[in-house]
Amino acid sequence: MFDPLRLGAVALDVMAVNRGSAAGVAARQAARLRQVVAAAQSGSVLYRERMRGLDGPNTPLVNLPVVTRTELMGRFADWVTDPTLDLAALRAFTADIGSCGRAFQDRYVVWESSGTSGQPGIFVQDAQSMAVYDVLESLRRSVPRPLSRWMDPFYLGEQTAFVGATSGHFASYVTMERLRQLNPWLAGNTRSFSILQPIEALVDALNVFSPTLIATYPTAAALLAEEALKGRLQSNVREIWTGGECLTPVVRARVEQALNCTVRNSYGASEFLAMGWECNAGQLHVNADWVILEPVDEHHRPVPAGQASHSVLLTHLANTVQPLIRYDLGDQVRLQSQACTCGSPLPVMEVQGRMDDALLMKGRHGEMVTLLPLALATVLEDQAGVFDFQLCQKNGHTVSLRVGARGADAAQSLQRCRSALQAFATAQGIANLNVELEVDQPLLRGRSGKVCRVMAHNH
C-alpha cells in the first residue's frame, strides 16, 4: 500500500517534469508505454489474445486494440496479471465497509466504481500506482501553496473533510481511509462525512469539525455555499477541492464568494485517480507523464486538437497488475495544442463532465429541501442495485424514473428504486415523495453523450 522508496523516486521525477519540456514528457510516455504493454502481453491472457500478431511493445499506440469495461470485467481472471486476484474474493472484500482503506492480500488497494457507465468495476492498485497518485496529488494539485505541500504532502497541518459517498469502496473514500490508516495521527484532523445524511446533520457535523480543507463534488460544494450564505454553516475553509462532476464558472464563483476560499478543480476516475489538475492560470492539465488520453470519435478514430471528442481512450502508465491500455472511458474531452501561460510542459484539456442537477423538493412544512445528485445515485446503486437509470423531477413532490432494463427485470428494478427513493426522501424531510415509473422508455442523453442521470424539472 505504501512504499517510501517508490514515493521518493516518483516525486523526484515529477519535480523534474514540472521544470522540463514537452519532449521530456513524450519520452517518459514512450518508455512507460513500452513497459506497460510488455507487462500486459506477458501476464494478461486477455491482452495477449488481443495483441496477437502485433509487434509487442514496439507497436504504435494507435494500432493497439480498444477495450471496454464490460469486456474487461467479463474476463477479469484473464485481464489481471496476478492470478491470485479472484473477482469473487475482491467483491466480498469491497462488500465489507469495514475493510475500506485496508490492503487486500497485504499489498493492493482496491476500490469500486460507481457504475455511472452502466457497469460497475473493481479496480486494483499496486504500490507503484499508489505512489504515482500520492505524488501527483501532493505536488501538482496543490498549486496555491506548493512549498507548504512539499513540507506537508499528506496535509497533516490541515483539518481535512471529505464530503461524499461513504457507503462503499469508492476511490475518494478509500483514499481518505487509507491515509488515516497509514498515519494514525490523522484520525483527529481528517474525517469523512456522508452526503446521504440530511443537510442539517451534515452542516452540524461540519460546524463541529471546522475543516480548513474540503474535498467534495461541485453540487455538494454549491449546497454548502448556500448553507453558509444562510448563516447555518460556519466556515473556516481555505481550499475546496472539487471533482467527479462538471464544475461550472457560476458554481465556482458562488462557492468562492460564499465560503471565502479557493476552489481547485481536478479530473479523475476510478480507472486513474489523478488524470488532471488545475494550474494558477485556471487551466486543467493532463498528467501526461503517467497517463495517455486519446480523444476519439464514435469509431475510435483520433480527433484533432481543439475539437471535442465523442469519447476518450485511457492508457495507464503505472499499473501493471491490472493493465488499462486504450480503455474507452466514455468522457468527452478537448485537448488544446497551445502551451499554457503557466509554463507547464503538460498539455491543457477541457472536460465535459456529467451535468447532473440537484433537485429542490418540497419539505414537510413547505420549505425547500435539496437532494444532491450523487446522493440519489448512491441510493439507487447501493440500495436498489440499479446503475443504468434516469431520474427526472416533474414538480416539488414528484419525480419520474426510467431504468435501462426492459420487461420483467425493469419492473422489479423500478419497484426497488421507488422504495429506496421514498425512504431516502423521508429521511431528508420530504413527505410522500411521488415516484412515477416509466417502463420501456429510452434514457435521454446530454451534450457529453453520456446519460444525464438526475435532471431538474426545468430541463
End-to-end CA gap in the chain = 44
Say if residue 330 is in the same domain as residue 377: no
Question: Angle 218-229/249-259 helices, nearest 10 degrees?
Answer: 40
Region 184-191: mean pLDDT is: 85
Q: How many domains does the chain have?
A: 2
Tell me the residue range of the domain where 223 lies. Answer: 4-352
Contact, 328 vs 65, CB < 8 A?
no
Amino acid at residue number 398: T
Q: Final residue of a domain: which of 352, 380, 403?
A: 352
Q: Angle at CA 173, nearest 5°, toward 363 and 154? A: 125
d(CA 58, CA 394): 55
Say if residue 273 is in the same domain as residue 153: yes
Say if residue 95 is in the same domain as residue 243: yes
Say if residue 337 is in the same domain as residue 367: no
pTM metric for this prediction: 0.84
- pLDDT value, residue 40: 97
Say if residue 294 is in the same domain as residue 178: yes
- pLDDT value, residue 448: 36
Say if residue 141 is in the same domain as residue 215: yes
The per-residue pLDDT for range 161-186, each reduced to its tens digit, is 999 989 889 999 999 999 888 888 87
The per-residue pLDDT for range 221-270, each reduced to its tens digit, is 988 998 999 899 998 999 999 988 878 888 899 999 999 999 999 999 99
Measured in whole angstroms, the distance separating CA 457 from the mean position of its chain's CA atoms is 26
Q: Final residue of a domain: which of 321, 352, 383?
A: 352
Say if residue 129 is in the same domain as residue 254: yes
**DSSP string for residues in 293-362:** EEEE-TTS-B--TTS--SEEEEEESS--SS--SSEE---EEEE-SSPPTT--SSPEEEEE---PPPEEEE
- Burial status of residue 163 (CB atoms within 10 A of its CB: 0-12, 13-18, 19 or more): buried
Q: What are the grid coordinates assigned to 75, written together?
A: 474476463
| HEC-encoded secondary structure of 56-94 | HHHCCHHHCCCECHHHHHHCHHHHCCCCCCCHHHHHHHH
* Strand duo 239-242 + 213-216: pairing: parallel
More confident residue, 458 or 175: 175
The per-residue pLDDT for range 307-345, each reduced to its tens digit, is 999 899 999 999 999 999 999 998 889 999 899 999 999
Say if residue 46 is in the same domain as residue 138: yes
Which CATH number do you get for residue 366?
Answer: 3.30.300.30
Say if residue 374 is in the same domain as residue 272: no
Say if residue 373 is in the same domain as residue 343: no
Q: Final residue of a domain: which of 352, 374, 393?
A: 352
Contact, 70 vs 143, CB < 8 A?
no
